[in-house]
Amino acid sequence: MARLEDVETFHNISFPGHMHTQKSLSYATSFQFQDSDIVIITYPKSGTTWMQEMVSLVLNRGDPTLSTTTPNWARAPWLEHYYCPQVLCTARCPRVITSHLPHQLLLPALKASKAKVIYVFRNPKDVAVSYYYFHKMAKFLPEPGLFDDFLDKFLEGTVHYGSWFDHVNGWTNSVEDIENFFHITYEEMWQDPRSSLQRLCAFLQRPLQEEEVASTLKHCSFGFMKENAMVNYTLVPQDIVDHSQGKFMRKGKIGDWKNTFSDVQSHRLDTVFKAQMQNSGLTFIWESLEAQKRTLRADTQTAAA
Ligand SMILES: Nc1ncnc2c1ncn2[C@@H]1O[C@H](COP(=O)(O)OS(=O)(=O)O)[C@@H](OP(=O)(O)O)[C@H]1O
């Protein structure tokens, strides 16, 4: 199946040209946010769709009607995609807007408003693997080749949307610059969905009743989202996303990187991580809960011996 390989370069960062144009990227960077807007920002494959679903359910008090009838990209459109202006014309208030843009491109526009900004990030090893497999399916992304070659580009920051390290450093350092800023990790959402949801509700000032919380958690679970055609991307035509190559809702786990990374590749990422993230003060969860428990047990046994 042919690739839709056109590339847009904007401020030295490459973007898939099939969905972004100079005009749409300029539109995004000079966007006039409203104070009532809710803006979800992520590096690709970090939990965007999950947060779009969570926000949508919170705004609808756990009622899944919209989540099961309207695709996520229509409920929370990508600011930098060419179709955003048309979708925003009919958007309800508060508008929910999504972006993968790095902070240097979007911060000036956001600083000028009181929009509520949600930043979701995920450990870079799981991001790299998820992104790699998505490149195999998504015809608007370049053919990724071997994982080793893709990892080189990921570490150099020459993949589409730029460097994970710059993205996470940039946005997590923006707390001071943006009046209403909330950040959360994929791992936190995974390990403690209920308290993640409570934190989100508090930030959005949308408290939920217990049954609304239960419904939101149910519809945001990986199992539910995997089957929901409004979020699992099966609605996207085959010539844009080749569904025979994999699933968008692929595994939804912490620590899946271990099935793709070799020890050498893991060490390579660790080295770049150490160099670029050492001043970030951020800590990441790299392993599944089972692996964490195994390590803890082994440590306890060693200490007891
Ligand atoms: N509810 C829920 N629980 C756990 N994990 C989830 C959930 N929803 C989406 N996912 C996983 O998120 C990955 C896709 O990330 P994004 O939505 O950011 O992708 S995109 O940037 O919008 O293309 C992709 O991760 P991988 O499975 O590791 O590839 C999805 O499976």
Domains in the chain: ranges and CATH? 7-304 (3.40.50.300)
Q: Is the Cβ–Cβ distance between 272 and 165 less than 8 Å?
A: yes
Q: Which amino acids bring their CB within 6 angstroms of ligand 1?
A: 42, 44-50, 126, 130, 133, 190, 220-222, 225, 249-252, 256
| DSSP 8-class letter at 254 | S
| Residues 153-170: b if buried by 16+ CB within 10 A, e if exposed | bbbebebbbbbbbbbbbb
DSSP single-letter state for residue 20: -
> What region does 62 belong to: left with phi over 0, alpha with psi -120 to 50, or beta?
left
Segment 261-283 shows an average pLDDT of: 95
Q: Which residues contact 38 (CB under 8 A, 6 or more apart)?
A: 55, 94, 95, 96, 97, 115, 116, 118, 204
For the chain, give the number of residues. Answer: 305
Angle between helix axes 210-219 and 48-59 (nearest 10 degrees) is 150
pLDDT in tens, 164-220: 999 999 999 988 889 999 999 999 999 999 999 999 999 999 999 999 999 999 999
Instruction: Catalytic residue, from 18, 20, 81, 100: name it.
Output: 100
> pTM for this one?
0.96
Sheet with 38-42: strands ordered across: 96-99, 38-42, 116-121, 180-185
pLDDT of residue 293: 82
Judge whether 81 counts as a catalytic residue.
no
Q: Which of 19, 99, 220, 249 to mutate to test the pocket of ligand 1 (most atoms within 8 A of CB)?
A: 249
Identify which of 27, 41, 15 has the alpha carbon closest to the alpha carbon of residue 85.
27
Computed from CA positions of residues 161, 164, 167, 171, in that sequence, does the dihedral angle turn out positive or negative? positive
Q: To which residue do tokens 């401020």 refer?
A: 11
Average pLDDT over residues 96-104: 97
Contact, 144 vs 151, CB < 8 A? no
Ramachandran category for residue 120: left, alpha or beta (phi over 0 → left; psi -120 to 50 → alpha): beta
Tell me the per-residue pLDDT of 22-81, one tens digit each, with 9 for 90 and over.
999 999 999 999 999 999 999 999 999 999 999 999 999 999 999 999 999 999 999 999
